[in-house]
A = this chain, B = another copy of it.
Protein backbone atom coordinates (compact mmCIF):
# COMPACT_ATOMS: atom_id res chain seq x y z
CA UNK A 1 0.00 0.00 0.00
CA UNK A 2 2.62 2.50 1.12
CA UNK A 3 4.55 1.82 -2.08
CA UNK A 4 1.79 3.13 -4.30
CA UNK A 5 0.69 6.34 -2.61
CA UNK A 6 3.74 7.20 -0.51
CA UNK A 7 7.14 8.27 -1.75
CA UNK A 8 8.56 11.75 -2.25
CA UNK A 9 5.89 14.33 -1.25
CA UNK A 10 7.53 17.08 -3.36
CA UNK A 11 7.34 14.79 -6.41
CA UNK A 12 3.66 14.16 -5.69
CA UNK A 13 3.09 17.92 -5.44
CA UNK A 14 4.87 18.42 -8.78
CA UNK A 15 2.75 15.70 -10.41
CA UNK A 16 -0.46 17.26 -9.07
CA UNK A 17 0.67 20.72 -10.25
CA UNK A 18 1.38 19.43 -13.73
CA UNK A 19 -1.95 17.65 -13.93
CA UNK A 20 -3.88 20.77 -12.89
CA UNK A 21 -1.82 23.05 -15.16
CA UNK A 22 -2.40 20.75 -18.12
CA UNK A 23 -6.14 20.75 -17.43
CA UNK A 24 -6.09 24.56 -17.37
CA UNK A 25 -3.99 24.76 -20.56
CA UNK A 26 -6.31 22.31 -22.35
CA UNK A 27 -9.35 24.34 -21.25
CA UNK A 28 -7.65 27.18 -23.19
CA UNK A 29 -9.79 30.07 -24.31
CA UNK A 30 -12.73 27.93 -25.35
CA UNK A 31 -15.81 28.57 -23.21
CA UNK A 32 -15.70 29.65 -19.60
CA UNK A 33 -12.55 29.37 -17.48
CA UNK A 34 -12.85 26.30 -15.21
CA UNK A 35 -13.90 26.47 -11.58
CA UNK A 36 -12.33 24.62 -8.67
CA UNK A 37 -15.03 21.96 -9.04
CA UNK A 38 -14.38 21.66 -12.78
CA UNK A 39 -10.68 21.12 -12.11
CA UNK A 40 -11.26 18.64 -9.29
CA UNK A 41 -13.54 16.64 -11.54
CA UNK A 42 -11.19 16.86 -14.58
CA UNK A 43 -8.13 15.75 -12.59
CA UNK A 44 -9.74 13.32 -10.08
CA UNK A 45 -7.97 15.25 -7.30
CA UNK A 46 -9.74 16.43 -4.16
CA UNK A 47 -10.92 20.05 -3.95
CA UNK A 48 -8.46 20.89 -1.12
CA UNK A 49 -5.56 19.40 -3.16
CA UNK A 50 -6.54 21.40 -6.27
CA UNK A 51 -6.90 24.53 -4.12
CA UNK A 52 -3.40 24.07 -2.65
CA UNK A 53 -1.89 23.39 -6.08
CA UNK A 54 -3.57 26.50 -7.56
CA UNK A 55 -2.11 28.67 -4.79
CA UNK A 56 1.38 27.41 -5.61
CA UNK A 57 0.87 27.91 -9.37
CA UNK A 58 -0.49 31.42 -8.79
CA UNK A 59 2.56 32.24 -6.66
CA UNK A 60 4.76 31.01 -9.53
CA UNK A 61 2.87 33.30 -11.92
CA UNK A 62 1.52 30.44 -14.01
CA UNK A 63 -2.12 30.69 -12.97
CA UNK A 64 -4.41 33.65 -12.40
CA UNK A 65 -7.99 34.02 -11.23
CA UNK A 66 -10.20 34.68 -14.24
CA UNK A 67 -12.82 37.38 -13.99
CA UNK A 68 -16.26 36.95 -15.49
CA UNK A 69 -18.09 33.71 -16.18
CA UNK A 70 -21.83 33.16 -16.13
CA UNK A 71 -22.15 33.54 -12.31
CA UNK A 72 -20.67 37.05 -12.38
CA UNK A 73 -23.84 38.25 -14.01
CA UNK A 74 -26.10 36.53 -11.47
CA UNK A 75 -26.99 37.23 -7.89
CA UNK A 76 -25.00 35.57 -5.07
CA UNK A 77 -21.37 34.64 -4.54
CA UNK A 78 -19.84 33.50 -7.87
CA UNK A 79 -17.59 30.42 -8.09
CA UNK A 80 -13.93 31.37 -8.55
CA UNK A 81 -12.55 30.61 -12.00
CA UNK A 82 -8.93 30.12 -13.09
CA UNK A 83 -6.88 30.28 -16.25
CA UNK A 84 -3.38 29.29 -17.37
CA UNK A 85 -1.20 32.38 -17.81
CA UNK A 86 0.22 31.45 -21.24
CA UNK A 87 1.77 34.93 -21.23
CA UNK A 88 3.85 34.00 -18.14
CA UNK A 89 6.67 33.07 -20.47
CA UNK A 90 7.59 32.99 -24.15
CA UNK A 91 9.19 30.72 -26.71
CA UNK A 92 11.22 31.48 -29.82
CA UNK A 93 11.74 29.62 -33.08
CA UNK A 94 14.84 30.71 -34.98
CA UNK A 95 15.78 29.67 -38.51
CA UNK A 96 19.36 30.48 -39.48
CA UNK A 97 20.00 30.06 -43.18
CA UNK A 98 22.70 30.79 -45.74
CA UNK A 99 20.85 33.89 -46.94
CA UNK A 100 18.23 34.67 -44.32
CA UNK A 101 17.46 34.64 -40.60
CA UNK A 102 13.82 34.11 -39.61
CA UNK A 103 12.35 34.30 -36.09
CA UNK A 104 8.89 33.50 -34.70
CA UNK A 105 7.67 34.32 -31.19
CA UNK A 106 4.95 32.48 -29.25
CA UNK A 107 3.58 32.27 -25.73
CA UNK A 108 3.71 29.18 -23.52
CA UNK A 109 0.57 27.80 -25.16
CA UNK A 110 2.19 28.07 -28.61
CA UNK A 111 0.08 30.99 -29.82
CA UNK A 112 2.09 33.01 -32.37
CA UNK A 113 2.67 36.61 -31.28
CA UNK A 114 4.82 37.75 -34.17
CA UNK A 115 7.61 36.99 -36.62
CA UNK A 116 10.39 38.84 -38.40
CA UNK A 117 13.24 38.10 -40.79
CA UNK A 118 16.32 39.71 -42.29
CA UNK A 119 18.72 38.86 -45.11
CA UNK A 120 22.29 37.86 -44.36
CA UNK A 121 25.20 37.53 -46.79
CA UNK A 122 26.12 34.00 -47.87
CA UNK A 123 29.76 34.67 -46.95
CA UNK A 124 29.01 36.51 -43.68
CA UNK A 125 31.27 35.49 -40.79
CA UNK A 126 29.81 33.56 -37.85
CA UNK A 127 29.93 36.75 -35.73
CA UNK A 128 28.11 38.77 -38.39
CA UNK A 129 25.47 36.05 -38.75
CA UNK A 130 24.95 35.88 -34.98
CA UNK A 131 24.60 39.69 -34.91
CA UNK A 132 21.77 39.42 -37.46
CA UNK A 133 20.09 36.75 -35.30
CA UNK A 134 20.34 39.08 -32.31
CA UNK A 135 18.89 42.03 -34.25
CA UNK A 136 15.93 40.03 -35.59
CA UNK A 137 15.18 38.60 -32.14
CA UNK A 138 15.28 42.13 -30.70
CA UNK A 139 12.92 43.32 -33.45
CA UNK A 140 10.33 40.59 -32.91
CA UNK A 141 10.42 40.98 -29.11
CA UNK A 142 10.03 44.76 -29.36
CA UNK A 143 7.13 44.53 -31.81
CA UNK A 144 5.24 42.22 -29.39
CA UNK A 145 6.35 44.19 -26.30
CA UNK A 146 7.87 41.04 -24.77
CA UNK A 147 10.88 41.26 -22.41
CA UNK A 148 13.94 39.12 -23.21
CA UNK A 149 13.78 37.90 -19.59
CA UNK A 150 10.40 36.32 -20.30
CA UNK A 151 11.89 33.76 -22.74
CA UNK A 152 11.67 30.19 -21.45
CA UNK A 153 13.12 28.28 -24.42
CA UNK A 154 14.32 28.88 -27.97
CA UNK A 155 14.57 26.31 -30.73
CA UNK A 156 17.13 27.00 -33.44
CA UNK A 157 17.28 25.40 -36.88
CA UNK A 158 20.59 25.63 -38.72
CA UNK A 159 22.31 23.88 -41.60
CA UNK A 160 24.89 21.29 -40.58
CA UNK A 161 25.20 18.36 -38.23
CA UNK A 162 24.54 19.23 -34.60
CA UNK A 163 26.42 17.50 -31.79
CA UNK A 164 24.56 16.48 -28.63
CA UNK A 165 26.49 19.11 -26.70
CA UNK A 166 25.05 21.97 -28.81
CA UNK A 167 28.02 22.58 -31.07
CA UNK A 168 27.95 22.48 -34.85
CA UNK A 169 29.88 19.32 -35.66
CA UNK A 170 30.07 20.03 -39.35
CA UNK A 171 28.60 22.64 -41.69
CA UNK A 172 29.97 23.36 -45.12
CA UNK A 173 27.31 25.95 -46.04
CA UNK A 174 28.02 28.70 -43.45
CA UNK A 175 31.51 30.24 -42.96
CA UNK A 176 32.93 29.72 -39.47
CA UNK A 177 30.04 27.47 -38.48
CA UNK A 178 31.87 24.11 -38.09
CA UNK A 179 32.98 23.74 -34.48
CA UNK A 180 30.98 26.77 -33.31
CA UNK A 181 29.53 26.42 -29.79
CA UNK A 182 26.27 27.76 -31.18
CA UNK A 183 24.08 26.56 -28.30
CA UNK A 184 26.29 28.23 -25.69
CA UNK A 185 26.51 31.47 -27.68
CA UNK A 186 22.74 31.72 -28.11
CA UNK A 187 22.02 30.71 -24.50
CA UNK A 188 24.21 33.62 -23.38
CA UNK A 189 22.53 36.00 -25.82
CA UNK A 190 18.93 34.93 -25.17
CA UNK A 191 19.19 34.03 -21.48
CA UNK A 192 17.08 30.89 -21.85
CA UNK A 193 17.29 27.21 -22.75
CA UNK A 194 18.42 26.83 -26.37
CA UNK A 195 17.79 23.69 -28.41
CA UNK A 196 19.59 23.23 -31.72
CA UNK A 197 18.25 21.19 -34.61
CA UNK A 198 19.39 20.62 -38.17
CA UNK A 199 17.43 22.91 -40.52
CA UNK A 200 15.83 20.15 -42.59
CA UNK A 201 14.91 18.28 -39.40
CA UNK A 202 13.33 21.45 -38.01
CA UNK A 203 11.50 22.02 -41.30
CA UNK A 204 9.90 18.57 -41.30
CA UNK A 205 8.80 19.10 -37.68
CA UNK A 206 7.29 22.44 -38.73
CA UNK A 207 5.42 20.98 -41.70
CA UNK A 208 4.19 18.11 -39.50
CA UNK A 209 2.95 20.50 -36.83
CA UNK A 210 1.34 23.15 -38.99
CA UNK A 211 1.98 22.57 -42.66
CA UNK A 212 1.92 20.15 -45.58
CA UNK A 213 2.68 17.07 -43.44
CA UNK A 214 -0.04 17.56 -40.82
CA UNK A 215 -1.38 14.18 -39.76
CA UNK A 216 1.32 12.23 -41.60
CA UNK A 217 4.00 10.39 -39.60
CA UNK A 218 6.19 8.99 -42.41
CA UNK A 219 7.59 12.02 -44.17
CA UNK A 220 10.75 13.06 -45.96
CA UNK A 221 11.24 16.83 -46.29
CA UNK A 222 13.81 17.97 -48.83
CA UNK A 223 15.24 21.48 -48.54
CA UNK A 224 16.53 22.74 -51.86
CA UNK A 225 19.33 25.24 -51.45
CA UNK A 226 23.05 25.78 -51.35
CA UNK A 227 23.62 22.43 -49.70
CA UNK A 228 20.50 20.29 -50.13
CA UNK A 229 19.44 18.35 -47.08
CA UNK A 230 16.57 16.23 -45.91
CA UNK A 231 14.74 15.63 -42.65
CA UNK A 232 12.69 12.49 -42.02
CA UNK A 233 9.92 11.47 -39.69
CA UNK A 234 9.48 7.74 -39.17
CA UNK A 235 6.32 6.83 -37.27
CA UNK A 236 5.96 10.48 -36.26
CA UNK A 237 9.44 10.72 -34.77
CA UNK A 238 12.49 12.49 -36.14
CA UNK A 239 15.11 10.10 -37.51
CA UNK A 240 18.45 11.79 -36.80
CA UNK A 241 20.76 8.85 -37.48
CA UNK A 242 23.66 7.40 -35.53
CA UNK A 243 25.70 10.62 -35.64
CA UNK A 244 22.93 13.10 -36.41
CA UNK A 245 23.81 13.06 -40.11
CA UNK A 246 20.75 11.28 -41.55
CA UNK A 247 19.47 13.05 -44.66
CA UNK A 248 22.71 14.91 -45.41
CA UNK A 249 22.45 13.88 -49.02
CA UNK A 250 24.50 16.75 -50.45
CA UNK A 251 27.36 14.54 -51.54
CA UNK A 252 25.34 11.91 -53.38
CA UNK A 253 25.53 13.68 -56.74
CA UNK A 254 29.34 13.49 -56.65
CA UNK A 255 29.03 9.76 -57.18
CA UNK A 256 26.80 10.10 -60.19
CA UNK A 257 29.43 12.57 -61.41
CA UNK A 258 26.72 15.18 -61.50
CA UNK A 259 27.45 18.73 -60.51
CA UNK A 260 26.63 21.09 -57.69
CA UNK A 261 23.45 23.22 -57.84
CA UNK A 262 25.60 26.27 -58.65
CA UNK A 263 26.84 24.55 -61.81
CA UNK A 264 23.59 22.84 -62.66
CA UNK A 265 21.68 26.10 -62.56
CA UNK A 266 24.32 28.06 -64.48
CA UNK A 267 23.26 29.58 -67.79
CA UNK A 268 26.66 30.98 -68.81
CA UNK A 269 29.13 28.26 -67.82
CA UNK A 270 30.08 30.13 -64.62
CA UNK A 271 28.74 28.87 -61.28
CA UNK A 272 25.64 30.78 -60.16
CA UNK A 273 26.74 32.94 -57.23
CA UNK A 274 25.31 33.76 -54.75
CA UNK A 275 22.80 30.94 -55.06
CA UNK A 276 20.09 32.91 -53.27
CA UNK A 277 16.36 33.27 -53.75
CA UNK A 278 16.79 36.19 -56.19
CA UNK A 279 19.30 34.45 -58.42
CA UNK A 280 17.30 31.24 -58.45
CA UNK A 281 14.07 33.13 -59.21
CA UNK A 282 15.74 34.78 -62.21
CA UNK A 283 16.78 31.43 -63.69
CA UNK A 284 13.32 29.94 -63.20
CA UNK A 285 11.67 33.07 -64.68
CA UNK A 286 13.99 32.94 -67.70
CA UNK A 287 13.10 29.28 -68.19
CA UNK A 288 9.40 30.10 -68.05
CA UNK A 289 9.94 32.74 -70.76
CA UNK A 290 11.46 30.03 -72.95
CA UNK A 291 15.18 30.85 -72.64
CA UNK A 292 16.85 27.70 -73.92
CA UNK A 293 19.86 27.75 -71.57
CA UNK A 294 17.64 28.46 -68.54
CA UNK A 295 15.31 25.62 -69.52
CA UNK A 296 18.36 23.35 -69.65
CA UNK A 297 19.56 24.60 -66.26
CA UNK A 298 16.18 24.04 -64.59
CA UNK A 299 15.96 20.59 -66.15
CA UNK A 300 19.46 19.64 -64.92
CA UNK A 301 18.66 20.95 -61.43
CA UNK A 302 15.31 19.16 -61.31
CA UNK A 303 16.98 15.89 -62.25
CA UNK A 304 19.52 16.37 -59.48
CA UNK A 305 16.71 16.84 -56.93
CA UNK A 306 14.88 13.86 -58.48
CA UNK A 307 17.99 11.74 -57.95
CA UNK A 308 18.34 12.81 -54.30
CA UNK A 309 14.63 12.33 -53.59
CA UNK A 310 14.62 8.92 -55.28
CA UNK A 311 17.52 7.79 -53.09
CA UNK A 312 15.64 8.91 -49.97
CA UNK A 313 12.36 7.37 -51.08
CA UNK A 314 13.95 4.02 -51.96
CA UNK A 315 15.83 3.93 -48.66
CA UNK A 316 12.92 4.99 -46.43
CA UNK A 317 9.64 4.36 -48.32
CA UNK A 318 7.80 7.38 -46.84
CA UNK A 319 4.13 8.20 -47.28
CA UNK A 320 4.83 11.81 -48.25
CA UNK A 321 7.67 13.93 -49.63
CA UNK A 322 7.57 17.68 -48.88
CA UNK A 323 9.67 19.95 -51.05
CA UNK A 324 10.84 23.26 -49.62
CA UNK A 325 13.77 25.60 -49.26
CA UNK A 326 13.14 28.18 -51.93
CA UNK A 327 9.89 29.98 -52.55
CA UNK A 328 10.41 30.28 -56.29
CA UNK A 329 10.85 27.67 -58.96
CA UNK A 330 9.91 24.67 -56.91
CA UNK A 331 6.68 24.21 -58.89
CA UNK A 332 8.86 23.09 -61.82
CA UNK A 333 10.82 20.70 -59.61
CA UNK A 334 7.54 19.43 -58.11
CA UNK A 335 6.31 18.68 -61.63
CA UNK A 336 9.45 16.68 -62.41
CA UNK A 337 9.17 14.73 -59.15
CA UNK A 338 5.50 13.89 -59.59
CA UNK A 339 6.04 12.86 -63.20
CA UNK A 340 9.26 10.86 -62.82
CA UNK A 341 9.31 9.38 -59.31
CA UNK A 342 6.86 6.60 -60.33
CA UNK A 343 9.47 5.46 -62.88
CA UNK A 344 11.98 4.61 -60.19
CA UNK A 345 9.95 3.72 -57.09
CA UNK A 346 7.76 0.68 -56.54
CA UNK A 347 5.16 2.98 -55.03
CA UNK A 348 5.79 6.68 -55.46
CA UNK A 349 4.86 8.71 -52.38
CA UNK A 350 2.71 11.82 -52.51
CA UNK A 351 4.82 14.91 -53.24
CA UNK A 352 3.74 18.32 -51.93
CA UNK A 353 5.26 21.78 -51.76
CA UNK A 354 6.08 23.17 -48.33
CA UNK A 355 3.04 24.96 -46.88
CA UNK A 356 5.17 27.12 -44.57
CA UNK A 357 7.69 28.38 -47.12
CA UNK A 358 10.48 30.46 -45.61
CA UNK A 359 8.89 30.06 -42.15
CA UNK A 360 9.24 26.23 -42.15
CA UNK A 361 12.57 26.01 -40.31
CA UNK A 362 11.67 28.67 -37.70
CA UNK A 363 8.22 27.09 -37.15
CA UNK A 364 9.76 23.67 -36.57
CA UNK A 365 12.35 25.22 -34.25
CA UNK A 366 9.48 26.82 -32.30
CA UNK A 367 7.86 23.38 -32.00
CA UNK A 368 11.12 22.06 -30.51
CA UNK A 369 11.11 24.88 -27.93
CA UNK A 370 7.43 24.28 -27.10
CA UNK A 371 8.04 20.55 -26.67
CA UNK A 372 10.67 21.35 -24.06
CA UNK A 373 8.41 23.83 -22.25
CA UNK A 374 5.53 21.35 -22.24
CA UNK A 375 7.84 18.65 -20.95
CA UNK A 376 8.83 20.91 -18.07
CA UNK A 377 5.37 22.23 -17.25
CA UNK A 378 2.90 19.53 -18.14
CA UNK A 379 4.51 16.23 -18.92
CA UNK A 380 5.06 14.25 -15.72
CA UNK A 381 3.68 11.17 -17.39
CA UNK A 382 3.28 10.09 -21.00
CA UNK A 383 0.63 12.28 -22.62
CA UNK A 384 -2.79 10.63 -22.77
Contacts and interface: CB of A to CB of B under 8 A. Distances in A.
Q: How many copies does the complex hold?
A: 2
Contacts of A349: 242
A248 interface: yes
Interface residues of A, number: 41
Interface stretch (A50-58, A112-120, A305-313): A305-313
A188 interface: no
A262 to B, nearest CB: 19
A180 to B, nearest CB: 16
B306 A255 contact: yes
Nearest to A340: B255
Contact of A314 (B239, B252, B310, B319): B252
B161 A346 contact: yes
Given A234-B239, A315-B230, A317-B243, A344 B306 contact: no
B246 A316 contact: yes
Interface in A310-340: 310-312, 314-319
Contacts of A306: 255
27 contacts: A218-B242, A239-B316, A241-B317, A241-B318, A242-B317, A243-B346, A243-B347, A245-B345, A248-B317, A249-B311, A249-B314, A249-B315, A251-B310, A251-B314, A251-B343, A252-B310, A252-B314, A252-B344, A254-B343, A255-B307, A255-B310, A256-B307, A311-B311, A311-B312, A311-B315, A312-B315, A315-B316
Given A232-B315, A254-B344, 5 more contacts: A241-B318, A248-B314, A251-B314, A251-B344, A256-B258
A257 to B, nearest CB: 8
A178 B258 CA distance: 35
Interface of A: 161, 170, 218, 230, 232, 234, 239-249, 251-252, 254-256, 258, 303, 306-307, 310-312, 314-319, 343-347, 349
Contacts of A170: 346
Contacts of A317: 240-248
Nearest to A258: B256
Nearest to A219: B242
A205 to B, nearest CB: 18
